[in-house]
Amino acid sequence: MWTNFLCLGKLCRMTDHRLRITGYGFFWLVTAVLLLTACRSTSLPELAPADIVQNAADRMNELSGFYFDISREGAPAYLDPDNILSFRRATGAYVAPDKATATVRVIGPGLITDVDVVSIAATQWQTNVATGEWEELPPNWGFNPAVLFDGTVGLPTILTNDVSNLQLAEPQNLQESGGPDQLLYHLTGDVAGERLYEMSGTLIGPQPVTVALWIAPETFELVRVVVTEPEPVAGEPSIWQVDFANYGEVVDIQPPITD
């Protein structure tokens, strides 16, 4: 009887020891998982900044369509040669290779309104600010959204040829500022202004600007671009932000009916 009791006591002590080891093991296992999760949430695969940007340009050239949202802060950027109507915001869609449609917020003397724009290659139509009727615009009016993604002077070409001093910053999640809930590559650099000036219809440049880019790590889809123009004398810097979404989605864009 006493032998059985002693054996039972040893078994209990051994079981208790194993339980304590198991408890400690579980604690360290949970800690390791949490540490690994934290590492994954704050780091991305290491790539050279130039390779990330080149992959983003290639990806944009491959796409059949996407949505964009362009906003601007700072000194006025005029859409017309008479410097009456200035650009504030544009939301729309692009369809490769040369079509775009957008709703553009314009500001004039005592006026803040939205106009609709359709661009097919170099031809552009816009609803009249006063009447709302569609009309074809003269070629010297700025902001043709289709040209923003043109193969010669558009954003992919600028990313490939005109960006310098690229630096890789800490990865960021843009959810709090309206972006996706995803950790993104974040890069900064300088951009030559000549091609940018032509692409934007003289709204940006021709002087060099600084740029910040946010790029998805798996698809290399460009999520956000922020362009900052130099601060003019006794003025304020002009900041352009372009957000992209719905990659691969194509909308039907046709010339509007005009009188």
Judgement on whether residues 169 and 65 belong to the same structural domain of the protein:
yes
The three-class DSSP label of residue 243 is strand
Task: Give the pTM.
Answer: 0.80
Tell me the pLDDT of the chain averaged across its residues. Answer: 83
Q: pLDDT tens digit string along 166-214?
A: 999 999 999 999 889 999 999 999 999 999 998 888 889 899 999 999 9
Judgement on whether residues 2 and 98 belong to the same structural domain of the protein:
no
Q: pLDDT tens digit string along 104-144?
A: 999 999 889 999 999 998 899 999 988 999 999 887 666 78
The answer to whether residue 3 is domain-embedded is: yes
Judgement on whether residues 130 and 204 belong to the same structural domain of the protein:
yes
The 10 Å CB-count burial string (b at 16+, else e) for 29-64 is: eeeeeeeeeeeeeeebeebebeebbbbbbebbbebe
DSSP secondary structure letter of residue 64: S
- Whole-angstrom distance between the N-terminal and C-terminal Cα of the chain? 110
CATH number of the domain bearing residue 188:
2.50.20.20
pLDDT computed for residue 130 by the predictor: 86
Judgement on whether residues 198 and 153 belong to the same structural domain of the protein:
yes
Residue 19 has pLDDT above 50, yes or no: no
Residue 17's domain spans which residues? Answer: 1-39
